Amino acid sequence: MTTTPVLEAIDETLETQGQPPVNVIYEWLTTVDHKKIGLMYIVYALLFLVVGGFEAILMRIQLAIPNNHFVSPQVFNQLFTMHGTTMVFFMGMPILFGMGNYLVPLMIGARDMAFPRLNAFSFWISAFAGILLYYSYIGGSGLYAAGSAPDVGWFAYAPLTSKVFSPGHSTDYWTLAVLLSGVGSIGTALNIVTTILCMRCKGMKMSRMPLLPWLYLVMSGLVFVAVSPLTAAQVMLTLDRYLGSHFFDTQAGGSAILWMHFFWIFGHPEVYVLVLPAFAFANEIIPVFSRKAMFGYPAMVAASVSIGFISLSVWAHHMFTAGLGPAGNTFFVFATMVISVPTGIKIFNWLATIWGGKIIFAPPMMFMVAFLFQFLIAGLTGIMLSAAPFNWQLSASYFVVAHFHYVLVGAIVFSLFGAFYYWYPKVTGKMMDETLAKWHFWLFLIGFHLTFDFMHVPGILGMPRRIYTYEAGRGWDTLNFIVGIGAIFQAVGTLILVYNMIHSYYKGKEAGHDPWDAWTLEWSVPSPPPSYNFAIEPTVNSRRPLWDLKHPEDPDSDYE
Amino acid sequence: MLLHLLCIRGHTTLSFFARYTPADTARTRPGAARILRNAVFGTSFAAVTACAQSPTNIFDPAGTPARSAFGLSMLVLSITLVIFLIVAGLLLYALIRFRHRETDSNREPAQIYGSNQIELSWTVIPILIVVTLFLTTTRVILVTEAIPKPASAMDVTVIGHQFWWEYSYPKLGVVTANELHVPISEPESPTPTYLTMSSADVSHSFWVPRLAGKMDLIPNRVNTMWIDPHETGLYLGQCAQYCGTQHAKMLLRVYAQSPQDFAAWIEQQSKPAQQNFPGNPAATEGQAVFMKNACINCHTVKGSVATGRFGPDLTHLATRDTIASGPVPNTPENLRKWIEDPNSLKPGSLMPAMHLNDHDLDVITAYLSQLH
């Protein structure tokens, strides 16, 4: 691995003798390199993170005081619809796919994804979908005439989406954007599954694969099963709206419940589609910064796979208030509670990994520590919500909003930020500024807790989600004001991150191959990695090939 | 602490098959368990209620379904609190104890790859917790959803509309809107109110937190729930399923009345609307203007030609405290403003501004204010 490879020599020759002139924009537009596509996914998703975050800020200003007139109800309804749709479909999915795209081939010792052109296609169709959604602001004629974005909520319950209640085209923009992003997601999922199953390097049995590819394998499997019904439902909805079918048209005998089933058989596995990559980052970062091997690797794999399966049977806990009856409710209570067992196993294994280590609190690990505590709390409020009678009170209230933001922000975004700090040196060859990273961490942490800790309470005090205003005297005023303050902290923190990424790209210290003294294959190649990743296909003998290289006297391969 | 909790769980699971009726409240449970539960959870509960007095606090139940959900909530909260303290405590300890110190040698710590015994223990213990929680939850589901309806129950049909509530009492011949009146239910002689729910347009959800958890009103489908307020008073809530532009101002008001007051209310509401207004020429003229305008296409005034069903029944409008489904007090000034342009009070309301002149507005307001 350390010998000078032929391909590197060719690269150098090209550099010294001058490459054929290539237009940079043309190169990025036509690239099929998994790393470039991964980066484009990430940059595109960060753009939508800023847009979706801006929408959130506007909502929090509106709700900061009772009877506020900052935005009209129409605009508010568009804001939460666009915020939810953007963050799930055009921020969460793409950014996690982007990370997977970049990391999976590097971690399994492959030179690219299995289907590079499909990879490019999936990215561009997802990017197009996001732009299509936002084009509705200009082109969509909706309930409130031209220039109206979708306003049916991110789960777009029937029959509010039917032609009668949502005339105009804003809902069609939503439907088509989600449908197209679904096509892109399924393409990338297919690619990741094939890559992991077929393109692992020599010696990397499934049981020696790092946990990140394992979790991406489960995640991609879930995408197949979960996104397909959603895509089908979008087709059915479009048929309802334009060709007179009646799947969800309750006025003609259609079923509103059917849409709920379609949406949540997507919607709940989707939570795991988003959170499994967050676990994946934790599985890589926590051991490295504790200086210990992952505790209970087989248990972690088993837990991840069982989370994947169980998550397919919990969807109707989103429908406890739809009147499914005691038998249906009881089943979904059980399935939902059971999923806490493998999830708990994960937390305990992380705890055991830290135990007895030498923990280094570098920025990636700081975010992981916050991730662990916040994910614990999110899981526990999840157990509260799984108890159906408690759920009858809490569902569709701000408690639920706080709960799933604890998962999406407290767990996923924190883990993702940790991953940024961890892999940024690999991607750019530069270290990120640590002082700025600490500012980012503390501001975001304070903001997160101000916003989402306090957001649970209005839900307990009877505040439903998706209301554009409320009257004074319900006990919600102060709490909503605090929640709004927290949002500002988070925004500032995120801007510091963006600044840090740009600043460090130009001014950062050189990172070298392996700045964290880590153990997986991506740290064996230069930073940034050359287009072919590995000059010579690596051979591995254990789950931590670089540990084996660094500790020839005591390699992992002796214990597996 | 954990042992005590196990005792509580043991108790609740044992009483799993006990028969419950709507009148059975948490009050009838053994006091010790409740006291302990309150002690365990007292601090955080106090924190929640102290920071804000709210008429819609789910932890201040005033009816059986809300109370049994509250009991379950306290149990779940106690268990999760204990889990949190243990796991977070261990995490915190590990993070401090095993942090890298300057004085540490450069050697890597001992590499430990796992332990089947330990994995097994943290699989089995959570499974036991899950099973107990599941059984307790199932019991509360059954006592809320699967108990037989008593003969003394009263029926109300609730229809959700964008953005208001229609209530009818099919056995009593009363139709009203937005303000639900029900009798209180004494534990000795339970008179719960059974709500048969559907929707005229999109999905809505009925949520009065102090009385019961929510239930969706879904078009082309019938759901049921029951409430049994134990004390007289006004219970607030609002629509909890996003239903369009004015989802926020689709408020719920439930008036729990003593049996006598409720009987009097029913008697008054079952009368047709007043048709003659001697000595009040404005109201008489207003009545004529109302009947000649498109108002009658959407509104019913019982005993008149107005038989529309799209908007709220106005037969006894003047007896209601609010208009516009809750957010606006029912005063002549507000009523006039509402008729002139509903969007000024509730933007997105489906009632159109009828472009009436000032005189017509005055007389219609005078007429509607007389509909006692």
What count of CB pairs under 8 Å joins A to B?
A: 296
For residue B197, the SS3 value is strand
Buried-exposed string A393-423: b where 16+ CB fall within 10 A, e elsewhere: bbbbbbbbbbbbbbbbbbbbbbbbbbbbbbb
Q: For residues B127 and B120, is the Cβ–Cβ distance under 8 A?
A: no
CB contact (8 A) between residue A338 and residue B115: no
pTM: 0.91
Contact across the interface for B141 and A460, Cβ inside 8 Å: no
Unique residue bearing structure tokens 């390699």 = A555
- Window 372-411 of A: residues touching B by CB (8 A cutoff) are 372-373, 376-377, 380-381, 383-384, 386-397
Q: Which of B52, B58, B219 sits opposite A478 (nearest CB)?
A: B52
Single-letter code of the amino acid located at A453: D
Q: Do B137 and A389 touch (CB under 8 A)?
A: yes
Chain A CB contacts of B80 under 8 Å are 380-381, 383-384
C-alpha distance from A503 to closest chain B C-alpha (Å): 29
Residue spans of alpha helices (H) in A355-469 = 363-386, 388-394, 398-405, 414-428, 434-460
Distance from the Cα of B295 to chain A's closest Cα (Å) equals: 22
Q: How far is CA A51 from the centre of its chain?
A: 16
Structure tokens at A340: 């806490």
A494 to A80, A194, A275, A427, A441: CA distances (angstroms): 20, 35, 20, 20, 9
Mutation test of the interface with chain B: which of A151, A380, A558, choosing the one with the most B Cβ atoms within 10 A?
A380
Instruction: Judge contact between B109 and A357, C-beta under 8 A.
Output: yes
**The one-letter amino acid at A547:** W
Other C-beta atoms closer than 10 Å to the C-beta of B101 total 7
Architecture of domain B154-262 in this structure: Sandwich (2.60)
Gap from B362 CA to chain A (nearest CA, Å): 28
3 state SS of B166: strand
* Phi, then psi, of A521 in degrees rounded to 5: -60, -30
CB neighbour class for A449 (10 Å; exposed up to 12, middle 13-18, buried from 19): middle
A457 to chain B: closest CA residue: B48
d(CA A132, CA A7): 41
Pairing of strands B223-227, B193-199: antiparallel
Query: Which residues in chain B come in under a pLDDT of 70?
Result: 1-52
Q: How far apart are CA B68 and CA B112, in angstroms?
A: 47
User: In angstroms, rounded to a whole number, what is the distance separating the alpha carbons of residues A11 and A18?
Assistant: 10
A287: which 2 tokens?
């051991």
- As a whole number of angstroms, the distance between CA A273 and CA B168 comes to 46
Which ranges constitute the DSSP H helices of A168-255?
A: 170-198, 211-243
Site from B118, B216, B223, B238 to mutate, A interface, most A CB atoms within 10 angstroms: B216
Half-sphere exposure of A450 (CA within 13 A, CB side): 20
Which residues of chain A neighbour B218 with C-beta distances below 8 Å? Answer: 250, 256-257, 322-323
- The whole-angstrom distance between A529's CA and the closest CA on chain B is 27
Collapse the DSSP code of B224 into the 3-class scheme (helix H, G, I; strand E, B; otherwise coil) and give the result: strand
Residues of chain B in contact with residue A72, where contact means CB-CB under 8 angstroms, are 347
What is the C-alpha to C-alpha distance for residues B365 and B287, in angstroms, rounded to an integer? Answer: 10
Q: Edge-to-edge, what's the strand order for the sheet holding B251-257? A: B179-183, B251-257, B233-238
Taking Cα atoms as reference points, which of B46, B313, B77, B99 lies closest to residue A362?
Answer: B99
Report yes or no: A328 at the B interface, CB cutoff 8 Å.
no
Three-state DSSP class for B271? coil
Interface test with A, best of B137, B210, B345 (most A CBs within 10 A): B137
Q: Which amino acid is at A368?
A: M
* CATH code reported for the domain at A6-558: 1.20.210.10
Question: Which of A159, A333, A468 has its CB closest to that of B137?
Answer: A333
Nearest CB neighbour to A384, from listed B52, B76, B203: B76
3 state DSSP class of A16: helix
Q: Can you give A130-158 as a three-state secondary structure string?
A: HHHHHHHHHHCCECCECCCCCCCCCCCCC
Residue whose pair of structure tokens reads 């988003």 in the numeric block: A274
* The pLDDT value given to residue A148: 76
Cβ pair A73:B119 closer than 8 A: no
Out of A293, A388, A393, name the one closest to residue B113 (CB).
A293
Query: Per the CB < 8 Å rule, is B214 touching A326?
Result: no
> How many angstroms separate the CA of residue B223 from the nearest CA in chain A?
6
Q: Which residues of B touch A470 (CB under 8 A)?
A: 248
Angle at A306 between CA A301 and CA A310, to 5 degrees: 155
Q: For residues A397 and A462, is the Cβ–Cβ distance under 8 A?
A: yes
Q: What is the C-alpha to C-alpha distance for residues A214 and B36, in angstroms, rounded to an integer?
A: 45
Beta-carbon separation of A476 and B54 below 8 A = yes
What are A264's two structure tokens?
């949540």
Report the chain A residue with the minimal C-alpha distance to residue B134.
A334
| Ramachandran bin of B341, using left for φ above 0, alpha for ψ from -120 to 50, beta for the remaining angles | beta
Contact B347 A74 (CB under 8 A): yes
CATH class of B281-368: mainly beta
For chain A, positions 143-182, list CB contacts with chain B under 8 A: 143, 151, 153, 157-160, 165
Residues of A in contact with B243 (CB under 8 A): 160
A112: which 2 tokens? Answer: 């690219």
Residue of B281, B312, B45, B279 lying closest to B162 (CA atoms): B312
Which residues numbered 348-367 in A keep a CB inside 8 Å of some CB on B? 348-349, 351-352, 354-361
Among B20, B41, B131, B141, the strongest candidate for a mutation testing the A interface, having the largest count of A CBs within 10 A, is B141
Predicted local confidence at residue B26, as pLDDT:
39
Residue A389 near residue B66 (C-beta atoms within 8 A):
no
Count Cβ atoms below 10 Å from residue A513 Cβ, excluding itself.
16
Round the CA-based radius of gyration of chain B to a whole number and report it. Answer: 27
Closest to B203 (Cβ–Cβ): which among A157, A290, A463? A157
Q: CA A208 to CA B208: how far, in whole Å?
A: 55
Q: Which residues contact A205 (CB under 8 A, 6 or more apart)?
A: none
CB B200 within 8 Å of CB B220: no
Question: Residue A247 and residue A158: Cα distance in Å, rounded?
Answer: 10
In b/e form, how buried is each residue of A333-344, taking b as 16+ CB within 10 angstroms? Answer: bbbbbbbbbbbb
Give the separation between CA A211 and CA A190, rounded to whole angstroms. 19
Q: Can you give the pLDDT at residue A13?
A: 59
Where in chain B are the domains?
2-98+116-145, 154-262, 281-368
SS3 A381: helix
How many Å separate Cα A479 from the centre of its chain?
28
| Nearest residue in chain B measured CA to CA from A257 | B218
**In chain A, what residues touch B237 (CB-CB under 8 Å)?**
462
Q: Where is B66: in which H helix or E strand?
A: helix B64-97
Q: Please say whether the beta carbons of B65 and B227 come within 8 A.
A: yes
User: Shortest CA distance to B126 belongs to which of A379, A296, A341, A352?
Assistant: A341
C-alpha dihedral, B21 to B22 to B25 to B30, nearest 10° = 10
Chain A hits for B65, Cβ within 8 Å? 389, 392
pLDDT in tens, B228-244: 999 999 999 999 999 99
Interface of A with B in 77-116 (CB under 8 A): 77
DSSP state for residue B167 in the 8-state scheme: E
Beta bridge partners of B215: B206
Instruction: Indicate the residue of A165, A297, A387 with minimum beta-carbon distance to B137.
Output: A387
CB within 8 Å: B219 and A321:
no
d(Cα A324, Cα A330) in Å, to the nearest integer?
Answer: 10
pLDDT in tens, chain A (560 residues): 444 455 566 566 555 555 666 788 888 999 999 999 999 999 999 999 999 999 999 999 999 999 999 999 999 999 999 999 999 999 999 999 999 999 999 999 999 999 999 999 999 999 999 999 998 887 656 555 445 788 899 999 999 999 889 888 889 999 999 999 999 999 999 999 999 999 999 999 999 999 999 999 999 999 999 999 999 999 999 999 999 999 999 999 999 999 999 999 999 999 999 999 999 999 999 999 999 999 999 999 999 999 999 999 999 999 999 999 999 999 999 999 999 999 999 999 999 999 999 999 999 999 999 999 999 999 999 999 999 999 999 999 999 999 999 999 999 999 999 999 999 999 999 999 999 999 999 999 999 999 999 999 999 999 999 999 999 989 999 999 999 999 999 999 999 999 999 999 999 999 999 999 999 999 999 999 999 999 999 999 999 999 999 999 888 888 87
Instruction: Give the max Cα distance, chain B.
Output: 101
Amino acid sitting at position A129: A
Q: How far apart are CA A74 and CA A142, in angstroms?
A: 11
Give the residue among A227, A222, A307 at the shortest CA–CA distance from A262: A227
Helix (H, G, I), strand (E, B) or coil at B310: coil
The DSSP secondary structure of A314-353, one letter per residue, reads: -GGGGGGGG--HHHHHHHHHHHHHHTHHHHHHHHHHHHHH
**Contact status of A472 with chain B (Cβ, < 8 Å):** no
Which residues from chain A sit within 8 angstroms of residue B236, using beta carbons?
Answer: 462, 474
The values of phi and psi at residue A466, to 5°, are 65, 25
Contact A318, A267 (CB under 8 A): yes
The answer to whether the CB atoms of A340 and B218 lie below 8 A apart is no
Which chain A residue has the Cα nearest residue B344? Answer: A72
Element (H, E) at A538: none
Gyration radius (Cα) of chain A, Å: 24
A 43-82 residues inside an 8 A Cβ radius of B: 72-74, 77
ipTM, two decimals = 0.91
Q: Three-state SS for B153?
A: coil
Pick from A335, A85, A45, A81: nearest CA to A230: A85
Q: Which one, of A483, A461, A24, lies nearest residue B60 by Cα?
A: A461
Which tens digits make up the pLDDT trace of B80-98?
A: 999 999 999 999 999 999 9
Please tell me which of the candidates B51, B145, B220 has its beta carbon nearest to residue A326.
Answer: B145
